[in-house]
Structure 1
Amino acid sequence: MAVGADRSGPTVLGPDSAGTFEGFGADVRVTLGGTAPTDPALPLPALITGLLREQAGARSASVRLLAPDTPAEESRRLGESLAAESTGLLVLADGTNCSDERSPHPPDERAGQLDEQIRTALAEVDTNRLRDLDPRLCAELGVEGRAALQVLPGVVAASGGTWRGELLYSATPHGVTYHVATWTRQP
């Protein structure tokens, strides 16, 4: 199962979904597991899920898309329900898109602090920092995936136990900040 945010949400895309990265400059076709015709408007979180599904050799995947303005409490409740349904969860979200001169939007001095809040939360499994993400500030600074990030506190709360986070990547290579982390529940 994967969770992301997109203006087409809330919706669930199943294994019968397929799309292409052609709109991003590469005609790479991906599917969530079926043989459906290519949907040129398949949202980016679903495209990335399809690409990762194929690379991992998984048979199929589903993507739950939230609206970018989904309230934090609703995201948390979704996380609680997903914890009972899934053995693994892929959360697709972004950092700010206004950090430097390469960004698609004019630089904003608040971007660095917000990216640091997200980076630290992911590295330290700090669910309070994720829960405290300000929806208005995230929208202003281009963090479209805020609602997806706020699913994680619900997953952790419902699963219990001790969690370990590992930040694998955090950088702003093309004007948009990307963070990659894994969270693992400890035995």
Structure 2
Amino acid sequence: MLVAAAVCPCPPLLVPEVAAGAAPELDAARAACTDAIGVLAASRPDRLVVVGPAEQQDRGPHVQGARGSFRGFGVDLDVLLGEAPADAGAGTGEATERPLPVSLAVAGWLLGRTEWSAAPLEGLGVGEPLAPERCIQVGGEIAARADRVALLVMGDASACRTLKAPGYLDERAAGFDADVARALAAADVAALKALDAELAQELKAAGRAPWQVLAGAADGAGLRGELLFDDAPYGVGYLVAAWS
């Protein structure tokens, strides 16, 4: 059963070494992510599942201790998805060898800041085109894995909030992001389930599939939500929320 969730954005710029001179611009977002992850730790879960958008080659499960890198962004920095278990070298298979998608690498960096050791964890990279029905089903399966499950949900809102945004300006973007923010603030499972996947793709909202995984996991859990951060630096919507 899902007992807590944290929702965080996943731009590599959250990592100060990647952002370099612009790092202070996201200090408030980093602090909000730390607070949200603190809610996860306080829930004392039996298992933490980290979900984030991924390209095709990075989709599927990623085990605890899997390695991610920010070398593709010009920074000599590697991270792990949680502490590597003591038996990490004992033939844990392909999931250990595959590098983390960027979203889960950012999650690994965030968890490292909080020195997460509250529970075993695993990662799941989901494809942005994944149908809402399948996302919801996956979420339900995740919630059934242990008596007390926590979710760290990585994903950005629209990338079309300004003329200089990665997706240029789309007048629909602000309204879409506001709808998501309201749903996250209220832990409104129905509203997240109802997000328009086609519109989300047009607005380059990479968080849509992970948010709908959250909706499936939280169905019937009766959690309460709190929105901790809502802004659109660089024309991309970044939302941070905690459910408990």
After TM superposition, the score normalised by the length of structure 1 is: 0.87
> What do the CA deviations read for 1:101-154 (whole angstroms, capped 9, x no partner)?
231121000101110111111001111211111111101100122111101221
Are residue 152 (structure 1) and residue 214 (structure 2) matched?
yes
What residue is the counterpart of 2:10 in the other structure?
none
The answer to whether 1:54 aligns with 2:112 is: yes
Distance change (3 Å), C-alpha of 1:4 and 1:141: same
Q: Contact 1:6 / 1:144 at 8 angstroms: preserved in 2?
A: no
Give 1:44 deviation, angstroms.
Answer: 1.3
Unaligned runs of 5+ in 2: 1-48, 90-96
> Which one has more relative contact order, counting CA pairs under 8 Å at least 6 apart?
2
Q: Which residue of 1 aligns with 2:181?
A: 119
Offset, 1:161: 4.4
Counterpart for residue 52 of structure 2: 4
* Structure 1 residues 152-185: Cα deviation after superposition (integer angstroms, max 9, x where no partner): 221122xx3432111000101122110000011x
Q: Which residue of 2 aligns with 1:163?
A: 223
Partners of 1:90 and 1:161 in 2: CA distance: 16
Q: If each structure's helix is expressed as a fraction of its own residues, which one has the higher value?
A: 2
Give the Cα separation in 1 of the matches to 2:65 and 2:221.
35
Aligned alpha-carbon RMSD (Å): 2.2
CA distance in 2, matches of 1:152, 1:68: 14
Q: Secondary structure at the match of 1:95?
A: coil
- The worse-fitting range, judged by mean Cα deviation, of 129-138 and 10-19 is 10-19
2:27 corresponding residue in structure 1 = none
| Amino acid of the structure 2 residue aligned with 1:58 | W
Deviation at residue 16 of structure 1 after TM alignment: 4.0
Distance change (3 Å), C-alpha of 1:26 and 1:151: same
**Count of residue correspondences:** 181
Indicate which of 53, 64, 74 corresponds to 1:15: 64
What pairs with 1:20-169 in structure 2 (closer than 5 Å)?
20-32=69-81, 33-34=83-84, 42-59=100-117, 61-85=121-145, 87-157=149-219, 160-169=220-229
Q: Percent identity?
A: 33
Q: In 1, distance between residues paired with 2:198 and 2:176?
A: 12
Bigger Cα displacement from structure 2, 127-136 vs 53-62? 53-62
Q: Secondary structure at the match of 2:235?
A: coil
Counterpart CA distance in 2 for 1:109 and 1:73 is 27
